[in-house]
Amino acid sequence: MAQFRRFLLAAAVAAIAVLRPQSADSVGLGIDVSPAKLDISSDAGRSLTLPITVHNSAPDSAHIQATMVDFGVGPDGSYQYQKVGARPYSLMRFASINPREFDLPAGTSQQVVFTILMPEGEHYSGEYAGIVFFQTRPSRRPGQSVAFSARVASKIYETIPGTSVLSGVITKMSSLAASGGRAYRVIFHNSGNTHVYLRGSITVQKNGQPIDQVAMENNMLVERGGDRTIQVNGKALPPGQYQAVAQIDYGGKTDTGGVIDFTVR
């Protein structure tokens, strides 16, 4: 725990180029990783060895440290990082990586070996996930008073074959006045056992007739067991009684929906 806190403190003190896990490049600082995202399917009890390649395209040599973490995605879509084993569906507690630390000369690549061995057992089902960060040692460039460190990530999912369940439900809806129009808020809960990507829309009706339709953002990520708060803005409405109908496609056999009645005064 103390080591993990020191890692987070170091990341906060240095000026870090931190990537969202889907990204593979360190914002021009010369470090990239492949694959940036990996989905695998394997039976519990089977050992898997996977190559991850880190490349240094910067003009200077870099010292790289690899760190495994658990992660989640909050209701607003932001990533949340935790120590290995903190989350119930942690993949990294069954994983190892070698080497954990290495020097990477300019223009060269290093292949690291990522190994997973998930124990056998009927209680293992669905999807398990984690992230491997590759971070350079903070360095100060001539004429600069701030030390910079680049960090890239490889996000890894493992699914136990034949156990995936896609399921989702809208747990709450609301409508409220917003600047220049009307806002509609929807909370989606991922009740399945894999991550999902959302897309959908809100249709506003009056007396059963649609008068406004607003699309939601596409490809909103919701991790296993997670929630996502979605807010969209529609046009201004005159006083009256209305109905908002939400429809969300999460990749299952059928969409999930929700309905609320609301009044504009």
Stretch 5-22: mean pLDDT: 37
Whether this model's pTM surpasses 0.75: yes
Q: Which of 131, 92, 258, 110 is nearest to 189 (CA)?
A: 258
* Superfamily of domain 2-159 in the CATH hierarchy: Immunoglobulins (2.60.40.10)
230-246 confidence digits (pLDDT tens): 999 999 999 999 999 99
Domain ranges (residues) in the chain: 2-159, 168-264
> Are the folds of 2-159 and 168-264 the same?
yes
Inter-CA distances, 264 with 113, 204, 214, 232, 240, Å? 59, 12, 18, 17, 5
Looking at every residue in the chain, the average pLDDT score rounds to: 89
The pLDDT tens digits for 194-212 are 999 999 999 999 999 999 9
Homologous superfamily of the 168-264 domain (CATH):
Immunoglobulins (2.60.40.10)
